[in-house]
Amino acid sequence: MNGAQALLKALTDAGLDTCFTNPGTSEMQFLYEVAQTTGVRAVLCLQENTASGAADGYARMAGRPAFTLLHVGTGFANSIANLHNAGRAHVPMVNIVGANATYHQCNDPEHELVNGRITDLARVVSHWTQEARTASELGSLAAQAAHHSRLGAGKICTLVAPTDCHWDPAVAPPDCAAQPAAPRASAATIGEIAGLLANGKKTAILAGASALHGDCIELAAQIAAKTGADLLGDSWAPRLDRGEGSVQVRLIPYVAEMALQFMAPYQQLVLVGAQRPVVTFAYQGLPVSKVPAGCTVTTLATVDHDMRMALEDLAQAVGAKGASTARQARTQCPVPTGTLTPAAVGQSLCVLLPENAILVDEAITMGLATFELTKGARRHDYLFPGCGGAIGAGLPHALGAAIACPDRKVVALQADGSAMYTNQALWSIARENADVTVVLLRNDSYAVLHFEMARVRTGEETSALRSLLDLDRPTIDWVRMAESQGVPASRATTAEEFHQQLQAALATKGPRLIEAQVTQDLQPFLQLVRGGRP
Q: Which stretch binds a second copy (CB under 8 A): 23-31, 179-187, 193-201, 368-376?
A: 23-31
In angstroms, the CA 517 to CA 358 distance is: 23
DSSP string, 406-473: TTS-EEEEEEHHHHHHTTTHHHHHHHTT--EEEEEEE-SB-HHHHHHHHHH--SSPPHHHHHTTB--S
How is residue 171 annotated by DSSP?
P
- Among 139, 173, 392, 396, indicate the residue that binds a second copy (CB under 8 A): 392
In angstroms, the CA 513 to CA 505 distance is: 8
How is residue 264 annotated by DSSP?
T
At its nearest, how many Å lie between a second copy and the CB of residue 426? 10
At its nearest, how many Å lie between a second copy and the CB of residue 409? 21
Contacting a second copy within 417-456 (CB under 8 A)? 417, 420-421, 423-424, 427, 430-431, 448-449, 452-453, 455-456
Q: Which of 140, 49, 119 is nearest to 86 (CA)?
A: 49
Q: Is the distance from CB of 238 to CB of 91 less than 8 angstroms?
A: yes
Fill in the per-residue mask, 252 to 291: x = in contact with a second copy (CB under 8 A), - = not in contact: -----------------------xx-xxxxx-x---xx--
- Among 5, 12, 18, 21, indicate the residue that binds a second copy (CB under 8 A): 21
At its nearest, how many Å lie between a second copy and the CB of residue 83? 8
Q: Output Rg (C-alpha) for the chain, integer angstroms.
A: 24
At its nearest, how many Å lie between a second copy and the CB of residue 100? 6
At its nearest, how many Å lie between a second copy and the CB of residue 39? 12
Q: Which stretch binds a second copy (CB under 8 A): 31-39, 219-227, 325-333, 340-348?
A: 31-39
- Among 39, 109, 245, 265, indicate the residue that binds a second copy (CB under 8 A): 109
In angstroms, the CA 137 to CA 178 distance is: 19
Nearer to a second copy, 323 or 449 (CB): 449
Strand-pairing partners, residue 182, are none
Q: Is the distance from CB of 76 to CB of 95 less than 8 angstroms?
A: yes
At its nearest, how many Å lie between a second copy and the CB of residue 284? 6
At its nearest, how many Å lie between a second copy and the CB of residue 73? 7
Contacting a second copy within 45-104 (CB under 8 A)? 46-47, 49, 72-75, 77-78, 80-81, 84-85, 87-88, 100-101, 103-104
DSSP string, 475-500: PP-HHHHHHHTT--EEEE-BHHHHHH
Fill in the per-residue mask, 226 to 245: x = in contact with a second copy (CB under 8 A), - = not in contact: ----------x---------
Nearer to a second copy, 21 or 189 (CB): 21
Q: Which amino acid makes up residue 498?
A: F
Nearer to a second copy, 467 or 508 (CB): 467
Which H or E element spans position 233?
A: strand 230-233
Q: Which stretch binds a second copy (CB under 8 A): 192-200, 239-247, 388-396, 518-526?
A: 388-396
Strand-pairing partners, residue 69, are 21, 96
Contacting a second copy within 461-520 (CB under 8 A)? 462, 464-465, 467-468, 471, 473-481, 483-486
How is residue 216 annotated by DSSP?
H
Nearer to a second copy, 367 or 388 (CB): 388
Nearer to a second copy, 224 or 441 (CB): 441
At its nearest, how many Å lie between a second copy and the CB of residue 390? 4
Size of the site for a second copy (CB under 8 A): 104
CA dist list (Å): 298 to 188, 217, 219, 318, 459 = 12, 18, 18, 16, 44
DSSP string, 110-169: TTS-TTS-HHHHHHHH-SEEEE-SSHHHHHHHHHHHHHHTTSTT--EEEEEEEHHHHHSB
Nearer to a second copy, 157 or 351 (CB): 157
Nearer to a second copy, 137 or 515 (CB): 515
The sheet with strand 156-162 has its strands ordered as: 41-44, 18-21, 67-71, 93-99, 156-162, 128-131
In angstroms, the CA 126 to CA 237 distance is: 20
Nearer to a second copy, 446 or 495 (CB): 446
Which residues lie below 8 Å from residue 6, measured CB to CB, with a gap of 6+? 135, 136, 138, 139, 140, 142, 170, 171, 172, 173
Interaction between residue 384 and a second copy (CB under 8 A): no
Q: Which of 48, 57, 39 is nearest to 21 (CA)?
A: 48
Q: Is the distance from CB of 75 to CB of 24 less than 8 angstroms?
A: yes
Q: Nearest 5 degrees, angle CA 277-CA 283-CA 286?
A: 70
Contacting a second copy within 282-341 (CB under 8 A)? 282, 284, 288-289
Contacting a second copy within 122-181 (CB under 8 A)? 123-127, 156, 163-164, 167
At its nearest, how many Å lie between a second copy and the CB of residue 485? 6
Nearer to a second copy, 330 or 533 (CB): 533
At its nearest, how many Å lie between a second copy and the CB of residue 84? 5
At its nearest, how many Å lie between a second copy and the CB of residue 346? 25
Nearer to a second copy, 121 or 350 (CB): 121
